[in-house]
């Protein structure tokens, strides 16, 4: 009922898979060398590795992803958890053809009104913010603009580096994602 899209190390994927071991049905990854693949394999979760570099266009890549998704029954939610690709209109058009259409959510490391896109932590540090926010939102065609489902604010400490900030807030990312998913799939529990 949950499919996770990820491109990197997979810490958010792992948190989701640990919290919902019976509900994560697949991982979709666009990078053949991503560490998240091994994490999915170790948990016996099916993994669709669909490298975007193997396609001539984003549309072709996204259609192939949708084709793989149609092999999975009863997807309730798709989670973009460190998936470093911006989805295009093609993806949304094709996804809407699946019935029921799954909810698509994203973890974004900023308040949506403050910063959109990649490198949010760098932006926060470079611009000397003292407080920052993590947001889980519904994904719509406009980048980082969908309805906010959950968020949490946290301090940024003076002289903190981007790497230190990322490491410190990673547990908050996990908690925010899993608590939001619990509400979505109706599994309220102490996460």
Q: How far apart are CA 55 and CA 146, in angstroms?
A: 28
54 among known catalytic residues: no
Contact predicate 92/65, CB 8 Å: no
Choosing from 52, 54, 61, 108, which is the catalytic residue?
108
Cα torsion 111, 136, 100, 183 to 10°: value is -140
**Burial of residue 135, with CB atoms counted within 10 A of its CB: 0-12 exposed, 13-18 middle, 19 or more buried:** buried
Which residue is it, tokens 């908690």? 175
Distance of CA 95 to the CA centre of its chain: 16
Query: Which residues are part of the catalytic machinery?
Result: 108
């Amino acid at each position: 009922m949950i499919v996770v899209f990820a491109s990197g190390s997979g810490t958010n994927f792992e948190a989701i898979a640990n919290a919902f071991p019976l509900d994560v049905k697949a991982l979709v990854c666009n990078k053949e060398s991503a560490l998240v693949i091994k994490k999915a394999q170790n948990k016996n979760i099916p993994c669709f590795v669909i490298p975007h570099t193997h396609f001539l266009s984003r549309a072709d890549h996204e259609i192939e992803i949708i084709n793989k998704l149609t092999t999975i029954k009863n997807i309730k939610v798709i989670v973009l958890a460190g998936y470093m690709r911006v989805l295009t209109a093609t993806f949304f058009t094709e996804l809407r053809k699946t019935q029921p259409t799954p909810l698509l959510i994203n973890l974004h490391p900023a308040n949506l009104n403050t910063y959109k896109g990649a490198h949010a932590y760098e932006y926060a540090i470079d611009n000397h913010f003292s407080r920052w926010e993590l947001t889980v939102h519904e994904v719509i065609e406009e980048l980082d603009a969908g309805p906010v489902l959950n968020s949490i604010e946290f301090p940024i400490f003076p002289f903190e580096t981007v790497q230190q900030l990322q490491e410190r807030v990673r547990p908050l990312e996990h908690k925010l994602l899993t608590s939001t998913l619990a509400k979505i799939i109706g599994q309220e529990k102490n996460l």
